[in-house]
Structure 1
Amino acid sequence: MTTTAPPTSRSRRLLLALHDHPRRALVAVFLFVVVAGALGGPVAGALDSDGGFAPADSDSARAAERIEAATGLESSPGLVVLVDGTDRARGDAVADRLAGVPGVAGAVAAGRARDASSSLVLGTIEASAASEDVAADAIDAFDGEDDVSVGGGAVAGMQIGDQVGEDLSRAELLAFPVLLLLSLLIFGGRAALLPLVVGITTVLGTFLALSGINQVYGLSVFALNLVIGLGLGLAIDYTLFLLTRYREELAEQGPTREAVLTTMATAGRTVAFSAATVAVALVTLTVFPLGFLKSMGIAGAVVAVVAAVASLVITPAILGLWGAKLARRRTASGSEGRWYRLSHAVMRRPGAVAAVTAVVMLALAAPALRAEWSPIDATAVPEDLSARVVSDALAAQYDGTGSTPVTVAVTGDEAGASTLADGAATLPGVVEATPAQRLDATTWQVDLTVSGDAAGDDARRVVGEVRDLADATGTDALVAGPAAEFVDQQDAIGSSLPLAVALLVLLTLLVLWLMTGSVVLPVKAVVMNALTVGVSLGALTWVYQDGRFTGLLGYTPNGGVEPTDFLVAAALVFALSTDYGVFLLGRIKEARDAGLGERESVATGLGRTGSVVTAAAILLAVAIGAFSTSEISFIQQIGIATAVGVLVDAFVVRSLLVPALMGLLGKWNWWSPMWLRRLHDRIGFSEGGAHPAAYGETEPARTP
């Protein structure tokens, strides 16, 4: 039996209370779930479904605010209505009715299609109105009229938010039966209820926490997808790891208190470190000044912590309730399993295995190097929604009428605004420039029609040139519009990326050092995680940028990848790769601290966690892979990239690369400078009583 450091008196009392009074503990959990569901369940309707993909204080955002402050109206028409047919009177009638919708300041006819088969009506929303409510009222106003399609930015935002809710329901309906079946096969019998209870507690507990956070900082509705997928996945991972360890202790100690205490002192400690690595990786997304990324980072960090707490509270109660009934009828020694033999086979030729594996992973990651960024545009909206119908019609028949790519808000006098308008009209790519329009005593608006897509290359170039022109002429001008928002997004990501990467690496190194006491293992883990992230992002580029599997996945390619998806997927894959690395390293370290040799420790650790990690990876890939059923393409991208990364990490990195590199480095895996070693020992995170002796027996000299 493995020697472990006893829990502290406080944690021991808590564990024993949960174990000795399981029914009371589970009733308390049930009451918490009921309260969390009642208070946190409605969070979906309270979250933002629009914006968050550009900084709130960017030039484009301030330009829109400047126009709204001067006019009391939104800076561009939020409602675009497509009216089929050749009857002009019908278009005028639609405009009159649209103008009567509460929150619509005015509506005007805006021209006809090139083939005269339809006409457009543009509606401007009052700045003080809730755009989603106005969009819903506009759709209701024309409900049942087949010749009228209501679109525009406000409608697109509302329909995407509604679609996210539908996608969550569908993902749950698809994922839950599959997860339940797989849990029955992997956990076995009544033990399959453990991840279900922890998963429900995690998701609803996170909803409750996010409801409170949303009162202080407005979160994006897209974060709910992450909560569902990651919450279920981590709940399964943590409970599977705890249950597997308990079954080992059950075989050695029987259904005793000591078996539970040992389980929680070893596997429970690993779960805590795992949650910390996931949380610190995802919280680095909050460095970026984009609401979408901040929301994903906050939600991801919260769900990791809640999943760990739920697992560490509920599992001891379940173990106390059922005890020996959770044992498997057949148990096989990990040292005799196929993972044990595979590990030794890899370590017989560690250099060759490491080299080949790394080369293959680099080749799979190569497509990520040619990634091209694309904004979130109308292609993200499902084809059967009215916002997409209108957008496609605008692109095909109206040459972009209804959405001005570049809007300039000028503060100053008429001469300065006119000078800027005249200069902008001569810029390459500008098809038309309106004369400076006075909004109030000091604010003027210039609208530029630009060739190509609203956020395409031409429009983005014009944004930069207009800003340069304003600087050159000393004009106080701010640029708004889709292209300006995309340019501001890229600038914000580029300026924040070095800090985010530095924090990600440093925090991960810190947590892994606290766990292992080594400086080599954390660095190696970061490098391997980077390879896994590269493979997942390579798959994202290969599929979505290159337009593959469009029929299967049901998306419309736009020649690029949305950059915030890239960042969320990278953070998720990095976090989960570290997560599985913690599971494996924890068992290897424990075996080494118990006195096993270097290679034997690796083989034993992989033998005892190989099947657990791969099973957990499959279950988590199903939970997060359910994102791929989303009708919103940028949510799909996160699911596909994360599922690929998780499976590659479990089946390739942990099976081949980890034992190969650990076999190559041997005792140097555990090297640490003397002063760091003393600091680590003083902090007291050591797990096993054999740790000091093991250090003394295997630690190499500081100079090789």
Structure 2
Amino acid sequence: MSDAPARPESPPRRGFMAKLWYGYARVTVALRWFIVLGWIAAAVAAQLYLPAPQGSANDIEALGANDASFAAEQRSLELFGFPLLSRAAIVQRDPEGLSPLVQAEAVMRGIAITQKAYDVPLLGAIPVPNAEGAFPGAGEKNTTVVTFVFGDPNMNFFDQTYHIEEFAAQQLTDASDSYVGVTGSIPARAAQGRVLNSYVHIVEVVTILAVLTIVAVTFGSLVAPLLTLISVGAAVFVTLGVSGWASTVMNVSIPADLRPLIVALLLGIVTDYCIFYLSGLRARLREGYDRLEAARLATASFTPIVTVAGVTVAAGTASLLVAESPLFSGFGPALALTVLTGLVVAITLVPALLAILGGAAFWPRKLAVAPTKVRERPSFLTRAVANRASAFVIVLLCVAGLGALAYQAKDMELGLGFVQSLPETTSAQRAADAAGEGFAPGIVSPTEIVLEAPGIGEKQEEVAQFGEALKTQPGVAGVIGPGDLPAADDAGAFTAKSGEAVRYLVVLDSTPLEATAIDTLGSIRESLPQLATDAGLGEVTSYVGGDTALASGIIADTSNDLLRIGLVALAVNLLLLVIFLRALIAPLYLLASSVLALGATLGLAVLFFQDYLGQDGLTFYVPFAVSVLLLSLGSDYNIFAVGHIWQEARNRPMREALLVATPESTRAITSAGLALAASFGLLALIPLGPFHELGFLLGVGILIDVFIVRALLVPSLITLVGTFSSWPSTILRRGRRRPAEVAQ
């Protein structure tokens, strides 16, 4: 007669939904081998037959540029016959001084480019030396020449940059030429692409190793990380193929900047769901169930929670669809599709692998069978959040601390610095620094101001007076206009041949495309009518173009999207929480806690990046993308944590349900949160400004959510609100009328 404990019978399944999910689990476990082989085939087919996700080559448009600044540049082209603004520049600088010959050669070279004297795909050039008297606002004299070069707009950023750099390398070969490099927004975007391509695969490998290490430590297993790796791999390969196909069908371009974020999100959520399923399997095996029944019960228990959680994240990210900005309206579907693919993998492939492996998933650890569930002694922290007096103190401390951090978010500034996001070692960054030293930071991307009025070109004195008035505006380092560059004047660069328009290049004393420059340009734009009147030009039509004007429009459009996106995201997350919990009160304070955590995260970013590191602002799209993700992922963890408490509270008093459910859910959420924080946080290894910000915000935000909101604030709120949390339903009140069931 065997002394081994008898295997327990499966718990009774009450209700239609419980039977439905157990039926799903039975089918999934029965088809386990077919499911695994099917996903392997799907991953291979996706890579072989579906297109890779494509980003826009000239993706300023994909970043959301749909602005009046483009219209201004187009009008300038119509009036003058050729553009004045260039988004690429060759920089020569010698702090000891450039010889007059080198400066003259730069001017002649620019004229020769414009006259098509070189067999290169360059359309023109405007050389600007900081010669004595030529640029009064320059930081130095006779040290620097910036030659603005016009590439072929039909070429992508990489090709334009290549041809300009090749031309400069061929022409500026003498040491006396003091060639520094090529800079501007086009070379900067190309450099960003090169840096991203160099680092993205390294970061992905490091992230996978970190996440798998967390899984291995959590379960003390070498097989559990392998199961996670298989699941993540299938999800990534299928998602990349499906995303490429969907972007082609929907004609949506996803900027290259954001594709690593999609992979990080996929890796993080699939790992999270693997951790929850593995936790369920481990608990059932310890209760004495055999391999297949343990897999069925874990699948039946966690699949509804995982499904609702995944749908919540997908719906939350899909709220970006309501944005008018092309960036967000294209990014939202990509995120939602990523989450849904990861969800499908999680609820099919992971249970199938669990059924195949059983206890071997935790090798080399052997699970001790304990058929009778022994209730562990709650920790001090668990008892604290379950006690009304201490819970009240915890809520006060959490709200005060998070609120104080959230208050700092009011000082957030937004910018669009392409060059400034690059590592200091890149050629574009070095050239921009050199140009800024010789002139002013704004020389890299000057602003164009066009004045149009009948006969304005004949009013030379008034035009000159207007230019002098521009120079006196706060934040302006220099102005180049009619009469300042004779060679350019001869070509009609600043006065239209029709005499109906004049234009100026305005160089700001702050870094272009950043918050300070955007504010400065806003003030200048407002003052233009009065400046024209004071100069005697009368009523004129003014146009403002350039990268800083472009950045201003993008940020304004994005800010306008904020309220729309925020309301939709909150409504979607609230609705799904209400449906899942069948309550109105709990979803309100759960969502409020997520918003508070998000505000604290944004406030920390302001303190770190703007106050400590001295950045002019955050990359414009980072706070918005982070906000949607953190709100959705916060609801994701709400469903896991509160859903477990809700299940226990059906049969127990509320305090006992908290004491039973909180330790188990907290352990799983902690491991899952660490994996997700690592997945996002390691994006900061990519040496580009936006990825530093994304990694910090998402990593810190997840940790705040896991260790403060889910572990302390939410359980304490549940304790204080009590059974009223489930109003108008009576789900939580039933537990008060039933005897506590210590042995489950």
Task: Name the TM tier (shorter chain).
Answer: 0.7 to 0.9
CA distance in 2: counterparts of 1:20 and 1:336, whole angstroms: 33
Residue in structure 1 matching 2:391, options 318, 333, 350? 350
SS of residue paired to 2:91: strand
Matched, 1:285 2:320: yes
Deviation at 1:368, TM superposition (A): 2.0
Cα shift readout 1:530-570 (whole Å, capped 9, x = no counterpart):
1211221122111110234xxxxxxxx43322332222222
SS of residue paired to 2:621: helix
Deviation at 1:110, TM superposition (A): 2.2
Deviation at 1:64, TM superposition (A): 3.1
Kept in 2: contact 1:136–1:158 (CA 8 A): no
CA distance in 1: counterparts of 2:458 and 2:643, whole angstroms: 66
1:127 matched to which residue of 2?
153
Deviation at 1:591, TM superposition (A): 1.3
CA distance in 2: counterparts of 1:202 and 1:612, whole angstroms: 22
1:621 matched to which residue of 2?
677
1:643 matched to which residue of 2?
699
**Structure 2 vs 1, CA of residues 409 and 13 (structure 1 numbering), >3 Å: closer, same or farther?**
farther
CA distance in 2: counterparts of 1:632 and 1:467, whole angstroms: 39
CA distance in 1: counterparts of 2:673 and 2:108, whole angstroms: 58
2:581 matched to which residue of 1?
516
Kept in 1: contact 2:382–2:659 (CA 8 A): yes
Residue in structure 1 matching 2:35, options 13, 20, 25? 25
Residue in structure 1 matching 2:404, options 350, 363, 383? 363
Write the mapping of 1:57-206 to structure 2, written as runs, cut at 5 A. Answer: 57-67=66-76, 76-84=85-93, 86=98, 88=102, 91=106, 95=110, 100=118, 102-112=120-130, 114-142=140-168, 147-187=179-219, 188-206=221-239
Matched, 1:463 2:525: yes
Matched, 1:309 2:344: yes
CA distance in 1: counterparts of 2:432 and 2:676, whole angstroms: 36
**Structure 2 vs 1, CA of residues 37 and 115 (structure 1 numbering), >3 Å: closer, same or farther?**
farther
SS of residue paired to 1:120: strand
SS of residue paired to 1:121: strand
**Structure 2 vs 1, CA of residues 692 and 370 (structure 1 numbering), >3 Å: closer, same or farther?**
closer
SS of residue paired to 2:425: coil
Deviation at 1:67, TM superposition (A): 4.2
Kept in 1: contact 2:481–2:503 (CA 8 A): yes
Deviation at 1:313, TM superposition (A): 1.6
CA distance in 2: counterparts of 1:2 and 1:439, whole angstroms: 86
Write the mapping of 1:544-693 to structure 2, written as runs, cut at 5 A. Answer: 544-548=609-613, 557-593=614-650, 595-672=651-728
Deviation at 1:415, TM superposition (A): 4.1
Cα shift readout 1:104-151 (whole Å, capped 9, x = no counterpart):
202343215735444332211233333431112323445596835122
1:687 matched to which residue of 2?
none
Deviation at 1:523, TM superposition (A): 0.5
Residue in structure 2 matching 1:432, options 467, 479, 484? 479
CA distance in 2: counterparts of 1:74 and 1:238, whole angstroms: 54
Write the mapping of 1:473-492 to structure 2, written as runs, cut at 5 A. Answer: 476-492=541-557
SS of residue paired to 1:329: coil
CA distance in 2: counterparts of 1:421 and 1:506, whole angstroms: 56
CA distance in 2: counterparts of 1:486 and 1:546, whole angstroms: 22
Give the RMSD, CA atoms, in angstroms. Answer: 3.6
Kept in 1: contact 2:654–2:736 (CA 8 A): no
Kept in 2: contact 1:463–1:483 (CA 8 A): no
Amino acid at match of 2:707: F
Deviation at 1:392, TM superposition (A): 0.7
With the length of structure 1 as denominator, give the TM-score of the two structures: 0.85
Structure 2 unaligned runs (5+)?
1-10, 132-139, 483-492, 739-744
CA distance in 2: counterparts of 1:275 and 1:60, whole angstroms: 40
The range that moved more, 21-30 or 497-506, is: 21-30
Amino acid at match of 2:405: L
Amino acid at match of 1:643: G
Write the mapping of 1:400-439 to structure 2, written as runs, cut at 5 A. Answer: 400=441, 402-403=443-444, 405-409=446-450, 413-415=454-456, 426-427=469-470, 428-429=473-474, 431-432=478-479, 434-435=481-482, 437=494
1:209 matched to which residue of 2?
242
Residue in structure 2 matching 1:694, options 717, 734, 741? 734
1:683 matched to which residue of 2?
none
Give the greater-gyration-radius structure (CA). 2
SS of residue paired to 1:647: helix
Kept in 1: contact 2:113–2:124 (CA 8 A): no
Matched, 1:372 2:398: no
SS of residue paired to 1:110: strand
With the length of structure 2 as denominator, give the TM-score of the two structures: 0.81
1:269 matched to which residue of 2?
304
CA distance in 1: counterparts of 2:217 and 2:626, whole angstroms: 29
Deviation at 1:237, TM superposition (A): 0.4
CA distance in 1: counterparts of 2:497 and 2:578, whole angstroms: 60
2:134 matched to which residue of 1?
none
Amino acid at match of 2:31: H
The range that moved more, 105-114 or 156-165, is: 105-114
The range that moved more, 56-65 or 635-644, is: 56-65
Kept in 1: contact 2:385–2:712 (CA 8 A): yes
SS of residue paired to 1:631: coil
Structure 1 unaligned runs (5+)?
549-556, 678-690, 699-704
Residue in structure 1 matching 2:428, options 387, 392, 395? 387
2:47 matched to which residue of 1?
37
The range that moved more, 218-227 or 458-467, is: 458-467
The range that moved more, 136-145 or 451-460, is: 136-145
2:6 matched to which residue of 1?
none
Kept in 2: contact 1:82–1:148 (CA 8 A): yes
CA distance in 2: counterparts of 1:509 and 1:177, whole angstroms: 35
**Structure 2 vs 1, CA of residues 475 and 542 (structure 1 numbering), >3 Å: closer, same or farther?**
same
CA distance in 1: counterparts of 2:265 and 2:53, whole angstroms: 17
CA distance in 1: counterparts of 2:207 and 2:373, whole angstroms: 30
Cα shift readout 1:173-207 (whole Å, capped 9, x = no counterpart):
32222222222222423122222122222222222
SS of residue paired to 2:66: coil
CA distance in 1: counterparts of 2:463 and 2:324, whole angstroms: 30
Aligned length: 672
Residue in structure 2 matching 1:329, options 337, 361, 366? 366
1:254 matched to which residue of 2?
289
CA distance in 1: counterparts of 2:290 and 2:544, whole angstroms: 69
CA distance in 1: counterparts of 2:530 and 2:324, whole angstroms: 24
CA distance in 1: counterparts of 2:453 and 2:373, whole angstroms: 76
SS of residue paired to 2:414: coil
